[in-house]
Amino acid sequence: MKTATVRQLERMDYEPAYQAMQAFNAARQPDTVDEIWCLEHAPVYTLGLAGRTEHVLDAGDIPVVKVDRGGQVTYHGPGQLVVYLLLDLKRSGIGIRDYVQRLEQSVIDMLAGLDLDGARRDRAPGVYVDGRKIAALGVRVRRGCCYHGLALNVAMDLAPFRGIDPCGYRGLEVTQISDYGISMTAREAAGYLLPQLRRQLGYQHFQREQEPPRHLAGDGHRDVA
């Protein structure tokens, strides 16, 4: 039976989670169970491998962290659901392009359940509602195993997106679930998204785990407001 461990984590700074993902992937064995981490981050801009610093327009006091995922610059902050997927794609027989499409479709199907019409955009990975970006994707694959994942805007302060060219696109507008009169927290949004991820990625079972991953530094956590 294809299964994965799902961990609902507290809000935390970005870098401990980033380092934990790298450590998890480096320590993987052929029989390591896949994991999915759901969390929120303290405010941070992350700049992917293809990222150019000129797309950071005005970071203010928000830290900018260079990371090893694909893509350009994005923002993470409270009220945004971040889902890190640490999966053995080779074992599952899923190619990278197919994987990205499955992540997008999971978000589209979740939004459809909320009566929101999510859509893809050519040459601009992610999910859009009314032409505005509601979910961003960033992926890193090493030795057939992936980490990083997706970020879904739920109920957050969108103002920091004005400090960057989101995903490298000047003037790209962003939106969130709460803009459409739907009230939910990032944690609640995970409950809607996880079944879609399970279906799209072909898992028969998600095992819920309350403990944080062993690679995660304990000082990275923050209480959720």
Report which DSSP code applies to 150: E
Provide DSSP, 13-30: -HHHHHHHHHHHHHT--T
Tally the C-alpha atoms within 13 A of residue 137's C-alpha that lie toward its C-beta.
Answer: 24
Query: Within 10 Å of residue 213's Cβ, how many Cβ atoms?
Result: 18
Checking DSSP bridges between strand 3-8 and strand 205-209, what pairing results, if any?
parallel
Separation between Cα atoms, residue 59 and residue 61, nearest integer Å: 6
**C-alpha angle 46/50/52, rounded to 5°?**
70
Helix (H, G, I), strand (E, B) or coil at 135: strand
Q: Are 75 and 56 in contact (CB under 8 A)?
A: no
Separation between Cα atoms, residue 31 and residue 122, nearest integer Å: 36
What residues are annotated to the active site? 167
